Amino acid sequence: MPDISSKLPEAGTSIFAVMSALAQQHQAINLAQGFPNFEPPQRLKDLVGQAIQEGYNQYAPMPGLPILREAIANKIRLTYGVHFDPGSEITVTAGATQALFCAIQAVVHPGDEVILLEPAYDSYLPTVLLAGGIPVSIPLKGPEFKVDWDQVRSKVTSRTRLIITNNPHNPLGKVFQSADMAALKDIVLRHDLLLLSDEVYEHLVFDGLPHLSVLADPELYARSMVTFSFGKTFHATGWKTGYVVAPPALTTEFRKVHQFNVFSVHTPSQVALARFMEDEASWSGLDTFYQAKRDHFTRQLEGSAFRVLPCEGTYFGLLDYSGMSDEDDLTFAKRYTERCGVALIPISPFYRTPPAENRTVRVCFAKTEDVLTEAAEKMRTAVY
């Protein structure tokens, strides 16, 4: 047997798998899971079955079915007031993670530096490493977790190629404000960089805040790839369907990688999504829907030892447990699952080098109200 040299020697079992297994072992309520425990809209499920029965069962075109790309372009026009060409600027992908992988592989060359704002979604770092890139991590510190854009500027060198942003942010639940977008734009344009903007939670922004998409800024968009997820929007994460929007030159490079990665995406799902999106109401109201869940869970947690940190978007929230324990977040999350019957996610695995003083964990509130109520009751009454 030849010696196998790992390309990802530091990669192990994901924290999500670890915590979900622990939840199952101890029969804990699993708020570590990053997906809903409720079904997609019935009409959307019916449309998938209809597409199968109508014979849409063979390979779709590599960029995606034209009807779906046109539906995406229409959705973008209605949401952000801008028009993109479905043929040359929109590509359907097997989920946003696959889109992120292909985007990074398309533009990052060995030795290129890539700026990561951490905590960061866990696929960014290994994909940069697989491309031969050099990750430049900028840790965001709690409890505010604000981006220090002067620090970002200080990390830009002649080798910097790409900045990756996540807005709204998983796991922080933060959204960019106008000042953030202005600073990001200044850095990207001033240093002639590329931007990969992960916007999968675009419709989950709360309290009347706007989602400031890169798509709405022509100068920034001209050097960006922007990823989205139907799974997040339509409660169907297991369908693994998403898309990337990018200028024609970047789309060309993206598709060169995409075609040798998955080539094309599940055809019946594409047909169903295109038909479902004919009604603008299909994606509207998600902010109200998830804000109600956030607020319900927050109210139910009143009287617990956790401090709920502000959540501006996504379906994740952060809880400060410093009033309960001085343990690191991984130790705390594991023991809390075992002792108190609710599974949480530590945020240190989202960092390359986590801050030593972190005392926060993430919860997912994309759950039915009965589950959130039961979990909160345990979190109020359980003795840690």
Position 353 scores a pLDDT of 85
pLDDT over 90 at 281, yes or no: yes
pLDDT band at 195 (very low <50, low <70, confident <90, very high): very high
**CB-CB contact of 185 with 176 (8 Å):** no
Task: List the beta strands (DSSP E) in 111-223.
Answer: 113-118, 134-139, 160-166, 194-198
Length of the chain in terms of residues written: 384
pLDDT over 80 at 305, yes or no: yes
pTM of the shown model? 0.96
Average confidence (pLDDT) over 73-80: 97
**DSSP string covering 247-274:** -HHHHHHHHHHHHHHT-S--HHHHHHHH
Q: What kind of fold does domain 42-282 have according to CATH?
A: Aspartate Aminotransferase; domain 2 (3.40.640)
pLDDT band at 308 (very low <50, low <70, confident <90, very high): very high
Position 165 scores a pLDDT of 98
**CB-CB contact of 246 with 89 (8 Å):** yes
Specify the higher pLDDT residue, 142 or 139: 139
**CB-CB contact of 296 with 285 (8 Å):** no
Position 125 scores a pLDDT of 96
Position 237 scores a pLDDT of 95
Average confidence (pLDDT) over 148-161: 98
pLDDT over 80 at 1, yes or no: no
Give start-end residues of each CATH 3.40.640.10 domain in the chain.
42-282
Average pLDDT, the chain: 96
Cis peptide before 168 (omega within 30 of 0): yes
The token pair at 330 is 């991984």
Average confidence (pLDDT) over 173-200: 98
In the block, which residue shows the tokens 């130790």?
331
Position 260 scores a pLDDT of 97
pLDDT over 90 at 141, yes or no: no
Q: CB under 8 Å to 233, separation ≥6 — which residues?
A: 202, 203, 283, 286
Q: How far apart are CA 167 and CA 121, in angstroms?
A: 11
Position 328 scores a pLDDT of 94
pLDDT band at 222 (very low <50, low <70, confident <90, very high): very high
pLDDT over 90 at 327, yes or no: yes
Give start-end residues of each CATH 3.90.1150.10 domain in the chain.
15-40+284-381
Q: How many CA atoms lie within 13 A of 81 on its CB side?
A: 5
**CB-CB contact of 214 with 195 (8 Å):** yes
Q: How far apart are CA 211 and CA 36, in angstroms?
A: 22
**Model confidence pLDDT, tens digit, residues 25-55:** 999 999 998 899 999 999 999 999 999 999 9
Position 323 scores a pLDDT of 93
The token pair at 215 is 């798509």
What homologous superfamily does CATH list for 15-40+284-381?
Aspartate Aminotransferase, domain 1 (3.90.1150.10)
**CB-CB contact of 115 with 161 (8 Å):** no
Q: How far apart are CA 240 and CA 313, in angstroms?
A: 21
pLDDT band at 355 (very low <50, low <70, confident <90, very high): confident
**CB-CB contact of 365 with 294 (8 Å):** yes
pLDDT band at 241 (very low <50, low <70, confident <90, very high): very high
Q: How far apart are CA 353 and CA 348, in angstroms?
A: 8
pLDDT band at 354 (very low <50, low <70, confident <90, very high): confident
Q: How far from 8 is each of 4, 12, 233, CA to CA, in Å? A: 11, 9, 31
pLDDT band at 252 (very low <50, low <70, confident <90, very high): very high
**DSSP string covering 292-311:** HHHHHHHHHTTTSS-EEPP-
Nearest CA among 160, 138, 127 for reference residue 11: 127
pLDDT over 90 at 246, yes or no: yes
Share of the chain above pLDDT 70, in %: 100
